[in-house]
Amino acid sequence: MSYDFYRRAAIVCQAVPCGKAATYGQIALLCGVPKNARQVGYALNKGRLGEDVPAHRIVNAKGILSGAAAFETADLQKRLLEKEGVNAVRTPMGWRVDLKKDGWHNTMEDALRFRELFEELGI
DNA sequence: GCACTGACGCGGG
DNA sequence: TCCCGCGCCAGTG
């Protein structure tokens, strides 16, 4: 049932370009299930989407990095992002990236292309 | 079936 | 900006 969701999520996550950051809600939306933002985080945490997904490029709606909870060290995600040219700033909430500048901004066509891709894959 | 548990999101104060 | 509460939903025991 929700297995299709994870397959879709894996595809969308891998489509996030290097040097850009996407939000959980954004991934869920492109998967066609806007309310499943939490499942995206769950899936990444459990490695449910596979090994080759750029998990460090996924942040929450405010641009806050998940940090130590999910990576080896507290600043691994931050280092990976900065290596791609995305810099994070320290805030009381944690490290944050500027989604205005480094966010992955999707167009309506992107969403449409994913939708038909899923359709032809039957997932 | 029931009760937690989250890498979440959004509106309000 | 920050903090809080509520809504959401698949997994897990």
pLDDT tens for A73-112 read: 878 999 999 999 999 999 999 999 999 999 999 999 999 9
Residue A27 has pLDDT above 90, yes or no: yes
Identify the pLDDT of residue A45: 93
pTM value > 0.85: yes
Q: What is the CA radius of gyration of chain A?
A: 14
Return positions of chain C under 7 A from a protein CB. 1-3, 7-12
Residue A55 has pLDDT above 80, yes or no: yes
Distance A39 CA to B11 C1' (A): 22
CB A78 within 8 A of CB A86: no
A77: helix, coil or strand?
A: helix
Distance A12 CA to B11 C1' (A): 28
Distance A52 CA to B13 C1' (A): 42
